[in-house]
Amino acid sequence: MRPYFLNSDKKPVSGNTKQILRTVVDRYMKEYPAAPLSSRAYTMDGFRRDKSGCFDVDFDKMFPDAQEGDYAYAYAQFRIIREIAPVFNFGSTASTEVYVNGERVTKTMINEEWSGGNRAIDVPAQLGYNTIFVKCKKDGLGFGFRFGSQKHKANPIEFYKAFEENAEELGWNYCGPFKEDIYPEPLTGNPSMEEHWLPRPYNPAMPNIKGHHEMYAVSTLVADTDNAVTFCAQADAEMELYIDGELQGKGNQKLVADLNVRKGTHAVAVRLFHKAADCTFTASAEGAKLALPSCTKNVKGQWLYLDSKDERAKKGFDQYQLYDGYESGEKTHYMCGENTYLRPVLETERFGRIDYPNGVTLYGLREAGKYLQDEEVMKYVHDHLEVCYGPLELGLWEMEKFGWGCVAYRLLRMNMLNDCGSFCAMVLEDYMEYSRDERILFLAEHVADYIRHGQERLENGMFYREVPGLYQELTIWADDVYMSIPFMVRYAQLMGDTAMMDDAVNQLLCYKEKLFMPEHNLLGHVYSLRYGRRSNVPWGRGNGWVLISLTEMLRVLPKEHKHYGDIELFFRQLAEGFLKDMDSDGMLHQVLGDMDSFQEASATAMGSFSFARGIQMGILPEAGYKEGAKRTAEALKKLCIDEEGNIYGVCRGSGCSFRRDYYKNHLICLLNDVHGMGLVLIALVDVARLLEEN
């Protein structure tokens, strides 16, 4: 056996299964610690993002009296949190120059000004904040530009104001029109804001109430010790004070409440009943301090405001909550001041992100947490999921109100199964086994509706990828079995929805018809609808997605189902294909059966725990498969995990090809690739359960 890390200074992991699980889990949780969403101010006086994630910087709209030859400018900063070179979409019908960190990265050419289309530009950005300065000159075709992250779902990039007075608020500053180029040199850093830049810094005072006569002011009360606190508020209104949801005092024009406050942070809500449209509100706390919730970043003042009479606000700040407005169906969220909303933003590298590899990673972490009986790991998984499903309804509202949601990106604009199935299967698992959070049911229906009515299907109901204009146009991928089946079977189980279960069964049988190679008991990776043919390359992880999806199905499919025997046969055939293609080390390869291709950890893990599950379900015989499960698990420990809990030998995310060479020589292994870590954890847990390890 030659471990992947043989030529490094790392040693193989040691210890029993529980110790190895602990090493891997601790490494991951330390590298990607739990963190809440950030919340930032967003002024409505700026430019909107469209549903593709691009800002539509329309100077014609902002400056309708501008003349041909006039200049306008936009300035912002963006933050890079991963070591990935960002790619942006850029387009303009005017003469436009784009500068990043003071260096020009692109300018429009005559032909693209004429067409007005977007193009991709690579930007030499650095980790942390980068400035972007755009200079635009009006011509006869238009005045403005479009700019945004090209991979707005996979790698969303937020834009923040960059001037000293409003740094790190969401959006751009802009100015114009000018007859001359007043910025021959681009702006960089966080300069002081000049009078001609818009929008001006917002006023954090209580906003105009638009004729409504009830609203809430919300903050937190922070006490360094157990203490007596005197809270005092003044407003042109009757007031009620709530601390941690409990009524603590009332007043008209003035409210004074003497409180006994425990050490820590407490939710504060002041309910205001007023008549004047320009009601003012001030408050202070002697013996403690008033502060905005800790998740707020660069937000002014000490209070947030709700233009609502929704009594849920008595409990204080809830980052994800949408509140009822004054008209039927109307919703609202917190404001920071006049015409300025508080918006949640995901600003972590991996924690809280929605994608299918993270779904598999969380699956592995949860299985490890259960096996280790570690509540901290279970809570970590739940907290990651909650950051994703909690603000879903808020994100959908943001899409309507602002043109773009800053959270739950993939679930706001689903257009392929990768966006939802794998990850949201874990959300349903969280509901059934851990939290019973009712917000998950909203997500469940949202995703189920997409699978039923939004995902492209052939006449027989089979999923396929339409994706016009992309290399994968009109294809069927083995991967999409896992991108759908785990969610579908959990949804069917949770909701008692037999139609969804029947749909899932039909998908598996249709995929077998299109991709199965009976002479090998394996699947080709893809099928091209354009050419009417199947790839005959049995990519390891592609086969593994189907194999583990079959175990997910067989766990819950009633044996009385008319196709149960067909599903069980499919599983046994594919398991046989995996077993026969193990090498002498106990590993499976990148291309199954091709020993010249590299040993691959994720496919090995998929085979390992599928063997173990098959035996435990009474579908696979112990003869051959028990030894296969044991050998693959031992190979993963000895060859693919080092002493620090790093995972080696996992193929990076794949495209599709009919060329065997693509899978063998162009797809490489990446250290700690998220496509594999969760699978390795599940394999170690399931094999340990099979072998009844302590």
Q: What is residue 472's predicted lDDT score, i.e. its pLDDT?
A: 85
- Eight-state DSSP code of residue 676: T
Q: What is residue 8's predicted lDDT score, i.e. its pLDDT?
A: 66
- Eight-state DSSP code of residue 312: G
Read off the amino acid at residue 248: Q
Mean pLDDT of 172-177: 97
Q: What is residue 553's predicted lDDT score, i.e. its pLDDT?
A: 98
Residue 3 has pLDDT above 80, yes or no: no
**Please, which pLDDT band fits residue 505 given cuts at 50, 70 and 90?**
very high
Q: What is residue 4's predicted lDDT score, i.e. its pLDDT?
A: 64
> Which of the two residues, 501 and 206, has the higher pLDDT score?
501
Q: What is residue 1's predicted lDDT score, i.e. its pLDDT?
A: 46
Residue 342, C-beta contacts closer than 8 angstroms, at least 6 positions apart: 39, 40, 41, 42, 296, 299, 304, 333, 334, 335, 336
List residues bridging with 64 in a β-sheet. none
Q: What is residue 631's predicted lDDT score, i.e. its pLDDT?
A: 98
Distances (CA, A) of 257 to 233, 247, 408: 9, 10, 40
- What are the pLDDT digits (tens) for 385-436? 999 999 999 999 999 999 888 889 899 999 999 999 999 999 999 999 999 9
Q: Do β-strands 159-160 and 71-80 pair in parallel, antiparallel, or remain unpaired?
A: antiparallel
Burial environment of residue 68 by CB neighbours within 10 A (0 to 12, 13 to 18, 19 or more): exposed
Output the pTM of the full model.
0.94
Max Cα-Cα span within the chain: 84
- What are the pLDDT digits (tens) for 620-671? 999 999 999 999 999 999 999 999 999 999 999 999 999 999 999 999 999 9
Contact 13, 310 (CB under 8 A): no
Residue 512 has pLDDT above 70, yes or no: yes
Q: What is residue 277's predicted lDDT score, i.e. its pLDDT?
A: 67
**Please, which pLDDT band fits residue 280 given cuts at 50, 70 and 90?**
confident
Q: Percent of the chain, pLDDT > 70?
A: 98
Read off the amino acid at residue 143: F
**Please, which pLDDT band fits residue 279 given cuts at 50, 70 and 90?**
confident
Residue 143 has pLDDT above 50, yes or no: yes
- CA dihedral (223, 224, 226, 227) positive or negative: negative
Mean of the per-residue pLDDT values for the chain? 94
Mean pLDDT of 679-687: 98
User: How many of the other CB atoms lie within 10 Å of CB of 200?
Assistant: 13
**Please, which pLDDT band fits residue 468 given cuts at 50, 70 and 90?**
confident
Tokens of 199: 């929008």
Q: Percent of the chain, pLDDT > 90?
A: 85
- What are the pLDDT digits (tens) for 19-56? 999 999 999 999 999 999 999 999 998 899 887 889 99
Residue 117 has pLDDT above 80, yes or no: no
Mean pLDDT of 301-316: 95
Q: Which domains does the chain have, with CATH numbers?
A: 17-32+351-690 (1.50.10.10), 39-178 (2.60.120), 214-345 (2.60.120.260)
Mean pLDDT of 299-308: 95
Residue 554 has pLDDT above 90, yes or no: yes
Residue 678, C-beta contacts closer than 8 angstroms, at least 6 positions apart: 357, 360, 361, 362, 363, 364, 365
**Please, which pLDDT band fits residue 6 given cuts at 50, 70 and 90?**
low
Coil, strand, or helix at residue 619?
coil
> Which of the two residues, 124 and 313, has the higher pLDDT score?
313
**Please, which pLDDT band fits residue 106 given cuts at 50, 70 and 90?**
very high
- What are the pLDDT digits (tens) for 341-375? 999 999 998 999 999 999 999 999 999 999 999 99
Q: What is residue 153's predicted lDDT score, i.e. its pLDDT?
A: 80
